[in-house]
Structure 1
Amino acid sequence: MPIRAVVFDFGGVLFDWNPEYLYRKLIPDETERRFFLSQVCNGAWNIQQDGGRSFADGEAALIAEYPQYAEHIRAWLVRWPETLAGLLPEGVALMEKLEAAGIPLYGLTNWSAETWPYAWNNYPLLQRFGEIVVSGHEKLVKPDPAIYALMQSRIARHLPDITPAELVFIDDSHINAEGARRVGWHGIHHVDARHTEAQLRELGLEF
């Protein structure tokens, strides 16, 4: 079946987000910084905020365990904009090629509801997507099948007869791309824009 819509992840595809950008300033020692980002404010902790937990609760849990890092833990939210270096030009160029070809574009992101407003207010590019599902708003995170089903239902507002096989999802996480495949979508593990573009063309998209 032809692809009728493309769904983008944001971090690592269109946005250059990395907590290292902030914590290089706060923790100059590489060994200590590696410990902090792998054992304290790590991916498992952050995904809970992406899933709807408040930063107040997330911070309290960590500070109780690592009181010596209280200031650095609070900085994750307070100085969050410093973890976002801006847009990734090659990813944006790919998005704009698809947009120019009239291919409907949607967004599906694991992103905290508390930090999302900063991105929405500062990056007008986001307002060009037909629908965006933000995990923190929905209290669901990729690769839960329920979040892909929710995304498809939002797309169906615009394309009422859309089927899973007509959707392709681009994500820099192999696990999340595979999650899309498990629900019948096409999933592309984004490594760079050139390879992603080639895979989209292999799927029959013309742009």
Structure 2
Amino acid sequence: MTIKHIVFDIGKVLIHYDPELGYHDIIPDPAERRWFLDNVCTHAWNMEQDRGRSWSDAEAVLIAQHPTREREIRAFRQNWHRMVSHAYEDSVQILRALIASGIDVTMLTNFASDTFREAQKRYPFLCESRGVTVSGDVCMIKPDVDIYHHHAARFALEPAATLFIDDTTANVEGARAAGWQAVQFIDAPRLVSDLRQHGIVF
């Protein structure tokens, strides 16, 4: 089916994200830093903020479990801005070229509500598509199929004519389970190739 809508993920597709960047001066030892992020401020813990949990509640949970690590736990939110260190300019160029060519572009992201608004101020291109669904706003996260259905209904997308771009295999599979077409983001040149294979020339 002809693609009518393109939906971009954001983290690791349009902007860089690496939690270790927030801890270089707080936990200088690489092995200890990695242990902390694997065992205390974990990906699973952070995903609950993407699902809508407040930072105060999130911090309270971990501080109760790791009372000697309070400073490091609170540093996750305090230093979040360091974790999104730069945009992927080649991907942003693709995003903007698609919009300029008249293709319908929206975004669907797992992101806490407050940090996403910070990211929009820092990276204006996050405001340039027709709209965005932020998981923290709707209390649903990828790859749960409900968030794809929500996004499609909100923006009047025809699922079979929608192409989703995400760096994570599970999120790509979630989109396909919702009836969308999807490609996994590897890098900008590969994305251009994938778009062309789907008949999108811009």
Amino acid at match of 1:168: L
- Note if 1:185 corresponds to 2:180: yes
SS in 1 for 2:165: strand
Which range moved further: 116-125 or 128-137?
116-125
Find the counterpart in structure 1 of residue 19 from structure 2: 19
- Give the Å deviation of 1:155: 1.7
Q: C-alpha distance in 2, partners of 1:163/1:128?
A: 21
1:100 shift after superposition: 2.3
Shift of 1:145: 0.8
Alpha-carbon distance in 2 for matches of 1:25, 1:180: 38
Runs of 4+ in structure 1 off by over 6 angstroms are none
Aligned match of 2:191: 196
Give distance in 2, aligned partners of 1:133 and 1:34. 31
1:119 aligns to 2:119 (yes or no): yes
Q: What is the distance in 1 between the residues matched to 2:182 and 2:38?
A: 28
119-128 or 144-153: bigger deviation? 119-128
**2:20–2:34 Cα contact (<8 Å) kept:** no
Report if the CA contact (8 A) 1:26-1:72 is conserved: yes
Residue 106 of structure 2 aligns to a residue in which SS? Answer: strand
| Corresponding position: 1:129 with 2:124 | no
In structure 1, C-alpha distance between the alignment counterparts of 2:86 and 2:9, rounded to whole Å: 15
Corresponding residue for residue 58 of structure 1 = 58
Q: Give the RMSD, CA atoms, in angstroms.
A: 1.0
1:148–1:180 Cα contact (<8 Å) kept: yes
Q: How does 1:64-83 map to 2 (within 5 A)?
A: 64-83=64-83
Which range is displaced more, 48-57 or 63-72?
63-72
| TM-superposed deviation, 1:119 | 1.1
What is the aligned length?
Answer: 202
- Paired with 1:206 and 1:106, the residues of 2 have a C-alpha distance of 18
Alpha-carbon displacement from aligned partner over 1:97-121 (angstroms, at most 9, x marks no partner): 2122211110100000121221122
C-alpha offsets along residues 139-185 of structure 1, whole Å, 9 cap, x if unaligned?
A: 000011110011101221xxxxx421100110111110110011111
* Structure 1 equivalent of residue 166 of structure 2: 171
User: Bigger shift: 45-54 or 66-75?
Assistant: 66-75
Given the two structures, how large is their TM-score scaled by the length of structure 2? 0.96
Q: Is the 8 A contact 1:131 1:154 kept in 2?
A: no
2-side partners of 1:33 and 1:43: how far apart?
A: 14
SS at match of 1:140: coil
| Aligned-partner SS, 2:38 | helix
Q: Give the residue type in structure 1 aligned to 2:42.
A: N
Helix, strand or coil for the counterpart of 1:136? Answer: helix
Equivalent in the alignment of 2:148: 148
The whole-number CA distance in structure 2 between the counterparts of 1:67 and 1:91 is 41
Gapped regions of structure 1 (runs ≥ 5):
157-161
Query: How far apart, in 2, do the equivalents of 1:154 and 1:193 lie?
Result: 28
Superposition pairs for residues 99-114 of structure 1, below 5 Å? 99-114=99-114
1:38-63: CA deviation from partner (whole Å, max 9, x where unpaired) = 11111100000000011111111111
* 1:41 partnered with 2:44: no
Unmatched segments (≥5 aa) in structure 2 = none
Q: Structure 1 CA distance, aligned partners of 2:131 and 2:97?
A: 18
For the residues of structure 1 that align with 2:34 and 2:174, how far apart are their CA atoms?
29
